[in-house]
A and B are shown apart, each in its own frame.
Chain A
């Protein structure tokens, strides 16, 4: 028996030594000029440019697909598959000059007809209702020579933001769901569900070619496994980590701090008691201590909000709103007494179970609210349940979640508070807010528009539409030997400039 154990152990040792001798993965990848990127969730959707429903999929496929214009790291729109565009004076006709000699990954040359096809397909098939809505406003789209002319039914000053989201795909290609073809700096190679996605440099790219020859996205749905793999050197680049996950990462990695670009709030259902009373909502704002929340959940990292705009969206962000409701339990109790709840009340905070930052925040808030006499219980629900019950059904009292901006427009963040909006989950109704939004969307003067959007954002703070908390801190771990990674103001990952 002992012999057997010894034998087994010896075999194990030889086995592991033999395997351990191999060159460490990181160096091998450097020699091959490729990187492994860790992503925290599966690309759980079709890969077709018009069917990508998850942010994680869009983030990866940004390297494969392109629109006529492309957003850059400062949030500006740069010519991509179009070289230039003009707008008529009435703001209705957009004329794009299409770039010549652009090749798709399948070798076909892009023509204006492909552009027309893409816009039409996107208008009919897109799962993104915002883009769909804007494209429904398109009266006609035609190709003329090297140009594409888009006529709108009514002016839309944010139109270019949407142009950058309509990816161009070849007109006669039908396998986009599984073998996507675009024009981007990387071409799609393979995908294994829940395991990995591989893209490689596209050598016929029209612009500056990518530096890396291949990128493998490794999927880790288990956060611990992701961090372990990072620690062990199996990954070169990971975004969206939290402060505890990057603690103690060795000097092999550069840690860059950023924010998630989303509005995390304790969203209150303004349509149900007691949250229909502005004093109760304000009381909640006073009762919550955002600084303590940041300390507890993220070691003090993260950006405070005050309204439904996140700070890095500086054009519309009003820093003075951040401390509109300084933490004060006394004030909270006073307001609750005025509203008729001197002894507080019971409430349920719903949090989507698949987003641990929101669940954590909800748990901290429940503790904080106790001091003001409010007895909050946290209820975790599955994402699907959250979508049907909370988001669409509006059957909730309060929920912690985060909304991001699908395009770089004020409407993407504020539009959901218009009383007529189908996305108005909170059931917020304010005449002045509606008036500001309506006016802002009917004019084209940028300075005036900005002012109106800011005024609208202030309404949300004044009325305490919800308890606006933070734009969550996130960290990127980039292998120290890698250069050229830049952050975008949107949920995107650009790997074309990354190099060893």
Chain B
């Protein structure tokens, strides 16, 4: 159910659009709902839209929690 797996922003190819990487899978998403996202930030994504921006420490803690639970987005760490 709507797991909040942090996705790393790897590029900003055009305004309000980001390329994200989760476990080595890259995907274009919309940044229309969040401000100030930069390359290297982590975002929480739902059906193609970034919902929230996480600071790197919070993202790391969340990624470690998912990894411990067996959902390990290796490529995103």
Report whether chain A binds chain B: no
Residues of A within 8 A of B (CB): none
